[in-house]
Copies of this chain bind each other. A is one copy, B any other.
C-alpha cells in the first residue's frame, strides 16, 4: 500500500498556507479592530507593519523592556501620541504580538496539515510546519520566545504551558510510534524536548544559519533525518 506522494517542501507549505508575509498585518488589524483607534484601514495597516517591524528590531537589540517608546517613535516616524492610537500601552504592545501569534498565526498552520495516520509521518509534518512557520514569521517567534519571560506572570505561565504542550504533543506521537512498533525510544520525554530545542534554535540563532547558507528546507530535512535516527524509525 503506497501512500499518495506528499510534497513536504517549503514552497508547497507556503502555497497552502492561508496567509503570507504580505497579508499578515491586514490580519493583525482585523484581529485588533476593537482596540486600534485608527479607522482608515490602509494607513492603519501600513503603520502597524512599521510599528511591529521596528519593535522586533529594537527588542532584539536591547530587549523589549530596554526599548523606550521614544526609540520606537523615532524609528517609526510616528509621534508618541500617534503610537497610542495603536497600542494602548507599551505592555499591551507585547501582549498583542504574543496573542496574535498564539491565537491567530500559529493556528493557521494547523489547518494546513495533510491527513496522515502514521505517527512518524505526523511527527514529520509537525516538525516541518514548525520550521516553515518559524521561517516565514521568524521575528514573531523570536520575540515571543525572548520576551515572554519579561511579561506579566500570566503571560509567562502561558509561555511555559505552550512549551509543555508542544513537548507533550511530540512525546505522545513518539509513544504512539513505539506502541505501533515503528519506533524505538527509551526516553520519549527527553527525545521530545531535544526535537523542540532544535526547532527553537532555528529561529533563535537565525544569524548562524543564514551565515552558513542553511535554508528552511535544509534545516527541516536535517531535523527530520535526526528524528529518524533518534527514534530508530522504520521505513523512513
Give the interface of A toward B (CB within 8 A).
60-66, 146, 149-150, 160, 163-164, 167, 186-187, 189-191, 193-194, 197-198, 200-201, 205, 207-209, 212, 214, 218-219, 222, 225-226, 229-230, 232
Residues of B close to A219: CB separation below 8 A:
190
**Residue among B66, B160, B207 making CB contact with A160, cutoff 8 Å:** B207
Residues of B close to A201: CB separation below 8 A:
193-194, 197, 200
Q: A187-B222, A208-B193 are in contact. Are A150 and B214 (CB under 8 A)?
A: no
Q: Which residue of B lies closest to A64 (CB)?
A: B63
Residues of B close to A150: CB separation below 8 A:
61-63, 66
Q: A163-B205, A167-B208 are in contact. Are A63 and B61 (CB under 8 A)?
A: no
Contact A194 B62 (CB under 8 A): no
Shortest beta-carbon distance, A94 to chain B, in Å?
A: 12
Contact A226 B222 (CB under 8 A): no
Residues of B close to A160: CB separation below 8 A:
207-208
Q: Which residue of B lies closest to A167 (CB)?
A: B208
A28 to B194, CA, bound (A): 33
Return the 5 tightest CB-CB contacts between A and B, nearest first: A65-B66, A197-B201, A63-B150, A190-B222, A197-B197
Shortest beta-carbon distance, A146 to chain B, in Å?
A: 8
Query: Is chain A's interface secondary structure helix, strand, loop, or mixed overall?
Result: helix
Residues of B close to A209: CB separation below 8 A:
193
- Offer 5 A-B interface pairs, CB within 8 angstroms, sorted by A: A62-B149, A63-B65, A160-B207, A163-B205, A197-B200
Residues of B close to A198: CB separation below 8 A:
194, 197-198
**Residue among B62, B164, B186 making CB contact with A65, cutoff 8 Å:** B62
Shortest beta-carbon distance, A95 to chain B, in Å?
A: 15
A207 to B156, CA, bound (A): 12
Residues of B close to A167: CB separation below 8 A:
208
Shortest beta-carbon distance, A175 to chain B, in Å?
A: 15
A230 to B190, CA, bound (A): 15
**Residue among B60, B190, B207, B208 making CB contact with A214, cutoff 8 Å:** B190
Contact B63 A163 (CB under 8 A): no
Q: Which residue of B lies closest to A145 (CB)?
A: B204
